[in-house]
Structure 1
Amino acid sequence: MKYAADILHHLKELYEENSRHERFTAVKELMTSHMRDATLFREHGFRMIGLIEKLSGLDIALPHELSVDLLLLSPKYAADILHHLKELYGENSRHERFTAVKELMMSRMRDATLFREHGFRMIGLIEKLSGLDIALPHELSVDLLLLSLPTAFLTPLWSTST
């Protein structure tokens, strides 16, 4: 009994009365924290950051990499981040959308190309944009197709419409 009392006395001296319990509780809460289904991932992230800062205030400074790993450790949290990023940016990258728009806007019919081939190519590019969640109005699609044609093709179109 005296041995246990001595250990307790020394622990109290080293860690003060409640600080060891606070540290243990904070570490346990951080390690066992899981994101609840109804919680927004941002709220969970703030909670985790608060726990990491609480540990820092209790003289347990975690390296930045470990803090990030602990934050992303929860599979639900990581899945929600991925879900929200997909909502914001779609499954396709910004670069892919930019490249498709650029290709459509810069397309011009070459002299040796048949009108039919060029038309199918332009329709394919417009459908590609649609697949990347960029829906062009029908009139704009037609105008882009017409703009990609040489002037020689447009002159007969405009002269018959007036």
Structure 2
Amino acid sequence: MRVELLGPLRITGEDGEEIPVPAGRQRALLARLALEPGKHVTADALIDALWPGAEPANAPGALHTQLSRLRRVLGDRVVHGPGGYRLTRVETDVEEFERIAAQAESASREDSPSAVRDLAERALALWRGPALADLDRHGLADAAAVRLAVRREAVAALHVE
């Protein structure tokens, strides 16, 4: 399964078919987990992402409801562990972008202009619009979108050089 965040949120299955993206808070929950694939995200961090500054009275219960709904789409790819919740067996375009961008940066230090150009083009081709484009962004999502936009500009500058 692949979650794409470099543009509007999109999920594709292993067969390449697009999977309908959940609505509302489940989208924000999916994005927050996908921004740190394979890493545990605490319940508090997820609550902050879903209800910034205005959490409901029973925030842990409301989070559990949202996680249950997200599991209907992703199945056992949303797991709970001692550090919180995480996605497993999910690839993201952010991970791929970061990997290719690092390769381009490495090639630039090795003075390999054609490799830099090719790698930078591959990294930039992953973008389908602004990161997290169709989410109501706030807090961490805003910070992530800004961080990714800065990385995109750095890779674009490598490409131009």
TM-score range with shorter-chain normalisation? under 0.3
Structure number with the higher strand fraction is 2
TM-score by length of 1: 0.26
Higher-RCO chain (CA-CA 8 Å, sequence separation at least 6) = 2
Structure number with the higher helix fraction is 1
Q: Which has more radius of gyration?
A: 1
